[in-house]
Structure 1
């Protein structure tokens, strides 16, 4: 699951395009299937979204939650791909993009009535 935060007036107009870019990067870097897009947008008013100095009001935070198993090189490749593709497609400077990957153990995920470690029919690989 991916959660994206930003100032509402900047984030709302680009949600679909940003979701497309994020998912394309996750497909190419992690092998995620087309139908596994799980994005949550949290557009905030500027008085509810504080960010570091040196950033513009295009500042965007992307939190990626995933089951543990991807190699550090794979995760770094995903982050670099996101910086590059978001910048080239949407014109948001890498200085205005913050990305965090949060990994949880497979047993800490629950979906379709089971936990992640019980799922044997995933259409993608976790250990990449």
Structure 2
């Protein structure tokens, strides 16, 4: 299980939303070996007064939070982060300084979906990759 939250300024983020979602999903599918039909993205559009940015960032600055069940190796998580940097910069045109990524993991028993806890639900893909 994985969910992705993307934070950014409303106007610039809305303009790239669909393409960015496609790029993020391709990275998740490739790095985490997710089925292509498992996309859960949330775009959080912020007004300039609500989004304080570190110095040196442009209005294109985004934060990507990836919530997932624990179990992936360090190498797999680094692969995901590196694919995101590479593909977002190349395919969307964002500067590397404008992309921040955080992976947040929790045990399967902390998740609930399809009426069961994550440790009881049948998942049709591998977690330990």
Category of TM-score, reference length = shorter chain: over 0.9
Where 2:19 maps in the other structure, the secondary structure is helix
How far did residue 3 of structure 1 move?
0.3
Structure 1 residue runs without a partner (length 5+): none
TM-score by length of 2: 0.97
How far did residue 47 of structure 1 move?
1.0
Give runs of ≥4 in structure 1 deviating > 6 Å: none
How far apart, CA to CA, are the structure 1 residues paired with 2:19 and 2:35? 18
Superposed, 1:1-128 pairs within 5 Å as 1-119=3-121, 121-128=122-129
- 1:69-99 residue CA offsets vs partner (Å, 9 max, x unmatched): 0000100010000000000001001110000
How far apart, CA to CA, are the structure 2 residues paired with 1:94 and 1:105? 31
How far did residue 34 of structure 1 move?
1.2
How far did residue 35 of structure 1 move?
1.1
Structure 2 residue runs without a partner (length 5+): none
Where 2:119 maps in the other structure, the secondary structure is helix
The total of aligned residue pairs comes to: 127
TM-score by length of 1: 0.97
Where 1:118 maps in the other structure, the secondary structure is coil
